[in-house]
Chain A
Amino acid sequence: MNIENLTQLTQFQVDDQPHIVVNKEICQTCDHRACVRACPANCYTFNEETKLLSVVYETCLECGTCYVLCDKGALEWGYPRGGYGVCYRLT
């Protein structure tokens, strides 16, 4: 199954306030950008042309993999406001 189909299986209560903010300047100079490949929900994309890192917080599973792997201090990462974010039904 591809990752788009995988995250569609999961339910989210999307907040209008993002719970992840990336510092695009720091990310431009990052030597690994581990978040892009390690995120289980494929939330991060690095655009090779614009050299900009972007994040889709709407399908974030709130696991914190990116937060732990980012050693550049480029992520403002916190849990969403109460009631928002991923909402597992089964699992």
Chain B
Amino acid sequence: MAKFFDVIIVGAGPAGSLAAIKLARAGRNVVMVERGKYPGAKNMFGGLVHHTPVLNEMLPDFWDRAPLERHVYKKVLAFMTPQSAVSLTFENENFDKPPYNGYTVFRPAFDSWLADEAVKAGALLLCDCTAEDIIKENGRVAGVTVKGREGELRGKIVIAADGVLSFLAKKAGLRQDFKASNMGVGIKLLLGLPEATINERFHLVRDQGADISFLGAAGDIRGGGFLYTNRESVSIGLVVHLDSLQSSGKTPYDTLNDFLQHPSVKKLIKGSTPLEYSAHLIPEGGFSALPPLYTDGLMLAGDAAGLCYTNGINLEGINLAMTSGVLAAGTAIEALEANDFTARTLSLYKKKLETSFVMKDMKTFKNAAGMMRLERLFQTYPQVLAGVMEKMYRADGVPRSKLLRLARKEALQEVGLKNLIADGFRIGRALL
């Protein structure tokens, strides 16, 4: 086995595999180091691969060949209180034809398939290898040591696509400690249901899928719930802020159980068979928490780079990861041509990210991370909304109010004028 490579990619996830495809196609000697028994064995996400232009460019027929579950046709945003749910459903014929706007997938299947495409293009895949440390030579990163299959791998450039807890980024001095205030934890239960039941329950036909986000589904913890339909199962779970989880003193699984018992959720999963339970951290610090993305001989991609954001409506990471992987690979190709692996040359990576949607979206929603820390967003506002809806619909012989008066009264009573103005400003800065 050649132990010297042009590029060593740590992590055969979506960022790593797309980087490997691009490098291998450019004729470069590239290796992917994966700590799982197979790519995806350690990976978990909510369930949706967003439409990602670079994926279509690199693998134009991927949607015909990749192991996909359903394309997402229906988007639902639900505001939850313990007794009620107010939801907004969006169904769109444009999401029902290729190029589809996103697909639900199983990560072990999808990530393995993507890594296999890299192998077909000429990349080497080493599974069972946990990258433990970086090797430095003349002050620059020049390789990694691995445990599992013990040994050293040396190369001209390392792309660390080793996930949210990137120990390589830390060892390279690009990250300090991982802060609880910048992290969310996702926990998920995969529940088996017959295909016909899913289609009936979620009003879907053919390969149509649904993506439901639940705001205020985690009791007094800042966080939300998600549900994605697969072909014969649904992925359901919660994402909660770590610091909020800690201060609540609650356990994640009890909180998940409470969510699954909510009257509007319970009936969606009735009669299902539990198939798998999983948990993973999510970088939720947004733009202001991004680490430096490169140093001499090393670039960070995907979750390792903190490229992930949520603004309450969009939850994106995997598309940013794949795009960053391709841009890191493009930078590596240019650095190899120039035979210069210094931080100065690799700074091109940051410029590429800044001109792509990746950094533009991170910047556009840079205030959203702060907004998502607003406690009232998860409990009080769903309650205000549900309160207005209930009074709007309830027929009890009490004379009705007009809508604005009703909303004003409900909001002032629950939130207060001062908070309303402050929150309005914060939400406005994040989203408007």
**Are A67's CB and B178's CB within 8 A?**
yes
Q: Are A90 and B276 in contact (CB under 8 A)?
A: yes
A88-B43, A88-B108 known; A6 vs B189 contact (CB < 8 Å): yes
Q: How far, in Å, is B221 (CB) from chain A's closest CB?
A: 11
Task: Please tell me which one of the listed residues B40, B108, B146, B249 contacts residue A82 in the complex, with CB atoms under 8 A apart.
Answer: B146
In the assembly, what is the distance between CA of A26 and CA of B53, in Å?
50
A8 to B428: give the CA distance in the assembly, Å.
45
Give complex CA distance A62, B43 in Å. Answer: 10
Question: Is B242's CB under 8 angstroms from A69's CB?
Answer: yes
Shortest B169–chain A CB gap in Å is: 14
Q: From residue A55, how far is it (CB to closest CB) to chain B in Å? A: 16
Instruction: Scan residues 45-88 of chain B and give those whose CB is less than 8 A from a CB of chain A.
Output: none
Partner of A84, one of B148, B246, B251: B148
Q: Which of A3, A67, A81 contacts B130 (CB 8 A)?
A: A81
State whether B148 touches A83 (Cβ < 8 A): yes
B35, B43, B109: which contacts A79 (Cβ < 8 A)? B35
Measured in the bound complex, the distance between the Cα atoms of B147 and A1 in whole Å is 36
In the complex, the answer to whether B276 meets A65 with C-beta atoms within 8 Å is no
CB of A68 within 8 A of CB of B276, answer no
A8-22 to B contact mask, C-beta < 8 Å, 1/0: 011001000000000
Cα–Cα distance between A91 and B274 once the two chains are bound (Å)? 11
Q: Is A65's CB under 8 angstroms from B185's CB?
A: yes
* B353 CB contacts on chain A under 8 angstroms: none
Task: Knowing A64-B281, A67-B178, say if A91 contacts B276 (CB, 8 Å).
Answer: yes
- A interface, over-half SS: loop
Are B277 and A83 interface neighbours, CB within 8 A? no
Q: Which of A7-52 contact B (CB under 8 A)?
A: 7, 9-10, 13, 32, 34, 37-42
Chain B interface main SS type: mixed
How many A-B contacts if CB must be within 8 Å? 137
The answer to whether B278 touches A91, judged by C-beta atoms less than 8 angstroms apart, is yes
Cβ of B175 to closest chain A Cβ, rounded Å: 12
Q: In the bound complex, what is the Cα–Cα distance between A90 and B275 (angstroms)? A: 8
A82 touches B246 (CB 8 A): no
Q: Known contacts A1-B257, A88-B43, A90-B233; is A6 also within 8 Å of B275 by CB?
A: no
Contact A83 B281 (CB under 8 A): no
> Does B129 count as interface, using CB distance less than 8 angstroms?
yes
Q: Interface size for chain A: under 10, 10 to 19, 20 to 34, or 35 or more residues?
A: 35 or more
- CB pair A68–B41 under 8 Å, yes or no, is no
Interface 1/0s, chain B 164-186, versus A by CB < 8 A?
A: 11010000000000111001010
Contact partner of A68 (CB less than 8 A), chosen from B34, B44, B183, B189, is B183
| Given known A62-B42, A65-B279, A83-B128, contact A91–B188 (CB-CB < 8 A) | yes
Among B34, B42, B190, point to the contact of A86 (Cβ < 8 A): B42
18 A-B pairs besides A64-B164, A88-B42, A91-B188 with CB distance below 8 A are A1-B257, A6-B189, A10-B278, A38-B251, A40-B187, A40-B253, A42-B253, A61-B277, A64-B165, A64-B281, A65-B252, A68-B178, A68-B242, A81-B148, A82-B34, A82-B35, A82-B36, A82-B146
Interface positions of B (Cβ within 8 A of A): 34-37, 40-44, 106-109, 127-130, 132, 146-149, 164-165, 167, 178-180, 183, 185, 187-190, 233, 235, 242, 245-246, 249-253, 257, 274-281
A-B contact pairs, 29 of them (CB 8 A): A13-B37, A37-B246, A37-B249, A37-B250, A38-B242, A40-B252, A42-B253, A61-B277, A61-B280, A64-B178, A65-B242, A68-B242, A69-B242, A69-B246, A79-B35, A79-B130, A82-B36, A82-B146, A83-B35, A83-B36, A83-B148, A86-B42, A86-B278, A87-B36, A87-B41, A88-B44, A89-B108, A90-B108, A90-B275
Seen from chain A, the residues whose Cβ lies within 8 Å of a Cβ on chain B are: 1-3, 5-7, 9-10, 13, 32, 34, 37-42, 61-65, 67-69, 78-91
Closest 9 CB pairs of A and B: A82-B148, A83-B128, A40-B279, A82-B128, A6-B277, A82-B129, A63-B279, A81-B148, A61-B279
